[in-house]
Every structure is written in structure tokens, then in C-alpha cells.
Amino acid sequence: MLDNVNEILVSVTIVLAVMAISVRLLQKVNRIEWVKNFFAWLLGWVDLLLSAIAIALVIRTFVVEPFRIPSGSMEDTLLIGDQLFVNRFIYGLHVPFTKARPLALRQPRHGDVVVFVPPHQRDKDFIKRVIGIPGDTVEIRRNVVYLNGIAQVEPYVLHKDQGRVPPYMAATPKFIVPPGKYFMMGDNRDRSDDSRRWGLASYEDLKGKALFIFFSSDPTQPMYNPFTWVRWKRLFKGVG
């Protein structure tokens, strides 16, 4: 995620809360009128900032959250430098310290591009495409995905290293996706660390569905030239 923004917001909230308490105490003990007025003015701004941060935390936790693409595993659907919004409530609200997901609008579907916590790296967020959902029979033969015995047509798939990838990436044994699990793959199939290597993603680890790109920058271009650094044509492009 965008450089631990939640942790920063929580830290700032704690500092502002301490400031608010301190200002209120100083305001009560101080008798000088202009000092009391200054503390009242300062307290108003602190309260305003606390309210704004609280709203931001609620939005990031339950509504939408920004995500930055760090790798090329989803090329060409998503590029390094893309920044997108993730729908946090479509698969159900996240209840802290539980696996409950109440008020889900729907379950994940084939083709959804999803941000989730993978089973092998619990401190990171991945973004991949949902390939297999609970109950599906999944098999890969010669880089072709078969769902329930039917070869899938995937126009978004990219093969950059075909013929030079480990065998497990080009073929998998047939298996059935169990309840509450999802088979995830990157669109850049030859350069994606996904369910072919580390297994299935769990429903409770799904953070949300990718919505649209709100900003995109080309890391190979200089920042001082916005005409080449910003990928203008990708702004507000839907993800799917």
C-alpha cells in the first residue's frame, strides 16, 4: 500500500489527540484573555484535523483505498507506476480481528482484479486476477487455463518468456477449488508470482476489487517533464 499511510494517519491522530487534551488543560488554567483566545483558535484547528483524519481512516478501511502497482505481474492491464482505487466493501466489510465479512454486495467472480494478502507473505498486498472460484475444476496445459474442462479465452493474458519458464507455470495438475478459496494469476503469466507457486488465496484475505486508475507515472521518464512522466491516457481508466 501507499507507504503505510494508515500507520501514519493513526500516529498523527494520536499526536493531535494529545495536543487537544493539552490545549484544553492550558486553556482552563490560563487567565490571560488573548492566550485563551489563541488556545481556542488552536483547538478549533486541532479538532478539525482530527475529524478529517477520522473520516479518511473510515473511508480507507471500509470504502475505497489507494493501491500502487509495484511490479509488472499484471502487464499490460496494469503497469508499474499505476495508482488505482480499490473497492473495500464489495466483498463485505472488514471486521477487525475477525474473519467475518458482513454486508457483502457479491462474491468474487471470474476475471475480477483483486487486492489481497497472499498466504506466504502476510505483510504484503498482491494484486491478481481471479481465475478459479470455489467449486471450479482448474487445470493448466501448455499455458492454457481450463475451467471445468473448457479452455479459456483470455485476451488480457501476456506471455513475455514463453518457453523459458519453470514447468509449474506452464502446466498444473487438475484440482477442485475448495470453499472459501480462490485461484489467482497475473495477466503477465510468465512473470507473475501467483497461485501456481504458493497456492490459493482465502476469502477473508481479499481486501477489495480494483476500480480504476486515478494516476499513472512512467518510472523510466524524468519527473520534471509531466508530458512524458504522466501517462495521461491511463488516467481514470477502469480495471477489468
Catalytic residue numbers, as ranges: 73, 128
Domain residue ranges in the chain: 5-62, 65-234
Q: What angle do the packed helices 5-29 and 33-62 form, to 10 degrees?
A: 160
Edge-to-edge strands, sheet with 181-185:
64-68, 82-87, 206-216, 113-116, 126-132, 181-185, 201-202
Q: What is the pLDDT of residues 7-58, one digit of tens each?
A: 565 566 676 666 667 666 665 665 566 666 766 777 777 777 777 767 666 6
Q: How far from the centroid of its chain's Cα atoms is residue 12's Cα? A: 22
Report the topology of domain 65-234: Umud Fragment, subunit A (2.10.109)
Residue with cell string 473511508: 59
Pairing outcome for strands 201-202 and 181-185 = antiparallel
Is-above-0.85 flag for pTM? Answer: no
Q: What is the pLDDT of residues 185-212, one digit of tens each?
A: 999 999 999 999 999 999 999 999 999 9
Binning the chain into helix, strand and coil, the percentages to the nearest 5 are 30, 25, 45
Report, as an integer, the average pLDDT of 230-236.
95
Q: What pLDDT, on the 0 to 100 scale, is given for residue 83?
A: 95
